[in-house]
Amino acid sequence: MGCSCSIDNDDGESVEVSTQSNPRARKDCQCSECYRVIVKGEKYWYTRYLFEGDWGTHRVCSDCKSVAKAMFCGGVSMGIMWEEIGYAFQENPELPNAECMMAMTKVGRDKVCDLLEKVWDGR
């Protein structure tokens, strides 16, 4: 079957310039998506970008990165990935296929399932 993206987020807006790396944290920092602490020594995804004339940075933990890779095509709007997933679940309240779910880390899968439960419960 294969893991096809569930959310097409190609809104036509993109950064003008970006560089990406996958460093180990030299000190504790925060994930720009789930806001959990990325602890010193943990690998994470770092993006430095230029958007509409302003430079910014974006740090993403491995759990959020695994969800983004499994669920999005066309890119992810930085900092609002979980909101976008919530909106997508409101429109189509079904889990991604099993192969996509298995491509996520366990913590990532748990977050996706928790978010879907909230949609099903009407929260």
Residue 11: what pLDDT?
A: 56
Residue 1: what pLDDT?
A: 42
What CA–CA distances, in Å, run from 114 to 51, 65, 89, 120?
A: 32, 17, 11, 10
Asked whether residue 4 is domain-assigned, the answer is no
2, pLDDT greater than 50: no
In terms of pLDDT, which residue wins out, 6 or 113? Answer: 113
Asked whether residue 9 is domain-assigned, the answer is no
- pLDDT tens profile 16-29: 788 899 999 999 99
Q: Are strands 7-8 and 72-73 parallel, antiparallel or unpaired?
A: parallel
The total number of structural domains in the chain stands at 1
- pLDDT tens profile 49-98: 888 888 999 999 999 999 999 888 767 778 899 998 988 888 887 778 88
User: Among 9-18, 81-90, 107-116, which stretch is predicted with the lowest mean pLDDT?
Assistant: 9-18
Asked whether residue 25 is domain-assigned, the answer is yes
Q: What is the residue range of 32's domain?
A: 18-121
Residue 48: what pLDDT?
A: 92
CA atoms in the 13 A half-sphere facing the CB of 4: 2
What phi and psi, each to the nearest 5 degrees, are found at residue 6?
Answer: -95, -30
Asked whether residue 12 is domain-assigned, the answer is no
Q: What is the dihedral of CA 26, 19, 8, 62, to 10 degrees?
A: -20
116, pLDDT greater than 50: yes
Asked whether residue 59 is domain-assigned, the answer is yes
What single string gives the DSSP state of each residue in 63-109?
HHHHHHHHHEES---TT-HHHHHHHHHHHS--PPPHHHHHHS-HHHH
Could you tell me the CATH number of the domain that includes residue 54?
3.30.1740
